Structure 1
Amino acid sequence: MLAFLTLALSLLVLSVRAANWYTVEWEATQFTAMSGDMIVPKLPQAGGTPYVWPGLQSGNGVLQAVLDGRSGTWWIGDGFYGTPSLPWGNGFNVNPGDAVHFAFSSSGSVWTCTLSSNGKSATTTLNITGSTMNRAIFAAELTNVPFNFGPITYTNVKITATTAASSWCGKTAHLGAYNYSVTGATASGNVCSIAKIVQNSAV
């Protein structure tokens, strides 16, 4: 299973270079929505390419709210990386300590993605055809930069599927050798509510 997850994620990196992955994940037959609040971590001290994101993955690609630190400051924006190839969506700059509310919701193949923080907001609509989102992922995707920053914290997370959350809400997987915690995962109907996810530095 771990080998499959590693292969699947390696095909979906935003960079052509190899990345190191640190994730917390859930699987279900099909996810239809996800939302929560991300607390922006401090920037890594080294260069390289740090991406931090929550997202929903299918066999064709991944829908992401990507916190991008390549420029030496954090920028967050929504987009889909995979097939079909779609233009990247809207976003804005954020600072360490900011809380960013993110939300993905679907109506058929059309996904509406929203971001908001400190009076800033962005909305992106993506027509993602041919994709069944069956994995919910919270990832640090790091190229040429160690996981020496953080913690990365998410609160008030809600993940909605087409199947009863009791069958998947309590089952997490992960990639990477690092410390993480999931607190207060509760299933109600098709919704898994998670009070807090914390991804800690690996070094």
Structure 2
Amino acid sequence: MMLAVLTLGLGLLISSVCAADWYTVEWDATQFTAMSGDLVVPKLPQAGGTPYVWPGLQSGNGVLQAVLDGRSGTWWIGDGFYGTPSLPWGNGFNVYPGDTVHFSFTSSGTTWTCTLSSNGKSASTTLNSNFVCITLQHTLTTSQLTNVPFNFGPITYNNVKITATTAASGWCGKTAHLGTYPYTVTSATASGNTCSISKIVQNNA
């Protein structure tokens, strides 16, 4: 179960934003090396506040993430690393409810490449993992809401693949979560070091 302090998408450490509510689905391994999948963009919350939705890979000093940001009243998605050291945010684009965004985090040597694509739009960000973080120990799908009730969604991820340095049979079938809410994980299958998940659905609370 993930007990490390979580970091916020495009934001501050959790300890400094007490009003934020977290709804996560999490996996834990010694070190993750890749993650990809398709995020279906949900409807925006009806009220104001600050909604973030993101898949990410977390280490002890930060998180590599693709953040769906609804602060402006329109969804925008971008990728990058938030944590220590502080890095400039990556590239992104606007998306709309019902769109599907393919996200990918892949490592090669000391380099992480983050890519996003949807309806002909794409963005890519490259980071040096020696500078950013060596061991990405947690992977998670997250709804992070400040002054926003979780009354929208569902938030759906399809065709998720997660790869680690250890056999997926040891962690693929074990999930943890934050928040009291209904969620489902469908067809989590281990093959070698990769866990393939048909669907993750975060239903509203």
The alignment's TM-score, normalised by the length of structure 2, stands at: 0.93
**Residue of structure 2 equivalent to 1:121:** 122
Say whether the 8 Å CA contact 1:25–1:135 is kept in structure 2: yes
Say whether the 8 Å CA contact 1:59–1:131 is kept in structure 2: no
Per-residue Cα deviation, 1:107-160 (whole angstroms, up to 9, x for no partner): 233210000000000011112324310000000001111111000000000000
Measure the CA separation in 2 of the matches of 1:50 and 1:109.
32
The alignment's TM-score, normalised by the length of structure 1, stands at: 0.94
Say whether the 8 Å CA contact 1:31–1:161 is kept in structure 2: yes
1:189-200 to structure 2, matched below 5 A, reads: 189-200=192-203
**Residue of structure 1 equivalent to 2:87:** 86
RMSD: 1.1
Structure 1 gap ranges (5+): none
Say whether the 8 Å CA contact 1:62–1:81 is kept in structure 2: yes
Alignment length (residue pairs):
197
- Give the 4+ runs in structure 1 shifted more than 6 A: none
**Residue of structure 1 equivalent to 2:25:** 24
Deviation of 1:55 (Å): 0.1
Measure the CA separation in 2 of the matches of 1:55 and 1:133.
10
Deviation of 1:85 (Å): 1.2
Matched, 1:161 2:164: yes
Per-residue Cα deviation, 1:148-181 (whole angstroms, up to 9, x for no partner): 1000000000000000000000000000000000
Per-residue Cα deviation, 1:14-73 (whole angstroms, up to 9, x for no partner): 145321100000000000000000000000011010000000000010000000000000
Measure the CA separation in 2 of the matches of 1:180 and 1:68.
21
**Residue of structure 2 equivalent to 1:186:** 189
Matched, 1:131 2:134: yes
Letter matched to residue 58 of structure 2: Q
